[in-house]
Amino acid sequence: MKELHLALIGGPQYDGLLELLPAFEKQTGYRLHVDVRLPHVELNERMAKDLGTENGQYDMISTHTKYCPSQAEHLRPLDELVDADELTDFVPRVLELCRFATGADQTHEKLMQLPRNFDARILFYRADLIAAPQTWDEAATQMVKHKRDGFYGFAFPGRHSGLFGTFYELLGMAGGDLFDAHLNPIFNSEAGEWALNFLYRVHTVDRVTPPDLIENWYYDEISGRFRDGDVLMVGDFPGFYGLYQKRETCKVFDQFDVAVYPAGPAGIRKSYAGGHSFAIPKAARDPEGGLALAKYLTSPEVQWHEASVGGHTPVRKSIFEKIKSTQSGRDAKRMAVLEETITHYAMVPPKFAKYPLIEDILWSGVQEAMTGKLTTKETLILMEKQVREVLT
């Protein structure tokens, strides 16, 4: 029997895909082995260890537009394996994120992955308690007003990529960015100070966040605890929305609503964004089979299932429009908010191989600032120094 060995992302946002694997097995005669299924951070760390070694002979892996460049030397370019007409239904901006230059040739970008979705956070809030805040200052006031024992004004991931992303959003909404066009760090700025001061304010001064935020709250907990009725407002990703649509997995089904993010002090709204995807390692034992699976998992049928059942943002134009045409009420509002966010506010990290190291430096520094272990200025100086050392 033909076999494919896979490394997949796991968690409530992503596990619905497992239900679709038997259909591929029935259609093709392949037997699929999910050798690795881990949350995003752990999966990225595992791939960093496995790819390029004897343990990295997966036929297909889950990856992400921001992490794929760090894996590129171990992945197969797909340009010669995927016909151009097979890509015409994909959103061009998402395909652009799936391309980047590799190796010695830094002038020609190659298609290194097939897109699964496009993630951009939007605001989920308790509409029975507040109206959607228009600025982060307004949001902070509401956080303080409504916090009480066991009910938090705000929650965000306390570590890793999720904490980096929260800082990145706030930095952008204050008018800043991570790098200039030449990859010089520019986050040590007034915008950077405002972003860190805001996180310090809500976590350490106003204490509207969970006291164990750093230790115990990550993406799954943020979504789950909001749906349990424990938080006033959070930023959440599309892939959790399937759980918001069911009363059995959303205790606040009748009390929540969605909105674009509040604006920062520069009058700007930004949302941490990127896309999950599938790639084929160079060491794949059956690259043709791995590619066939990747095409199936990004097909219109699977895109429709992931969008309609799981809530993912489809990256096929036809499916995005189909979803929009079938929804009403709050579900339709969410799609409109997502479309506005993706079109106007999506903030995507730059594509380069050392990016994961930069992310680690920044989220670790943000923790120091938000807990008051270092001042915001000390933190920014230290982070800039460490980032420059990595990029040298």
Domain enclosing residue 64, as ranges: 3-117+275-315
Contact by Cβ (8 Å): 70, 354: yes
Q: What is the pLDDT of residues 174-184, one digit of tens each?
A: 999 999 999 99
Contact by Cβ (8 Å): 323, 238: no
Pairwise CA distance, residues 18 & 194, whole Å: 42
**Residue 108 token pair:** 């020609």
209 and 99 within one domain: no
The residue-averaged pLDDT of 245-257 equals: 98
Element counts in the chain: helices (H) and strands (E): 16, 13
368 and 256 within one domain: yes
Instruction: Judge whether 341 lies within some domain.
Output: no
Q: How many CB atoms lie within 10 A of CB 98?
A: 25
129 and 105 within one domain: no
170 and 24 within one domain: no
Evaluate if residue 66 carries a pLDDT over 90: yes
173 and 265 within one domain: yes
DSSP structural state of residue 297:
H
Pairwise CA distance, residues 243 & 322, whole Å: 21
Q: What is the pLDDT of residues 310-342, one digit of tens each?
A: 999 999 999 999 999 999 999 999 999 999 999
Q: What is the pLDDT of residues 272-293, one digit of tens each?
A: 999 999 999 999 999 999 999 9
Amino acid at 56: G
Residues 6+ apart with CB under 8 A from 36: 6, 7, 8, 43, 46, 50, 58
Evaluate if residue 104 carries a pLDDT over 80: no
3 state DSSP class of 32: strand
**Which residue reads 């992400």 in tokens?**
64
User: The domain spanning residue 76 has which CATH number?
Assistant: 3.40.190.10
Residues 6+ apart with CB under 8 A from 282: 74, 75, 76
- Please give the pLDDT value at position 1: 79
3 state DSSP class of 38: strand
The residue-averaged pLDDT of 367-378 equals: 98
How many structural domains is the chain composed of? 2
288 and 264 within one domain: no
| pLDDT bracket for residue 118 (50, 70, 90) | very high
370 and 223 within one domain: yes
Instruction: Judge whether 373 lies within some domain.
Output: yes
309 and 242 within one domain: no
7 and 153 within one domain: no
User: Can you spell out the DSSP letters for 191-242?
Assistant: HHHHHHHHHHIIIIIS--S-TTHHHH--HHHHHHHHHTT-BSEEEE-GGGHH
136 and 261 within one domain: yes
- Please give the pLDDT value at position 102: 81
Instruction: Judge whether 371 lies within some domain.
Output: yes
229 and 175 within one domain: yes
Evaluate if residue 303 carries a pLDDT over 90: yes
| pLDDT bracket for residue 105 (50, 70, 90) | low
305 and 211 within one domain: no
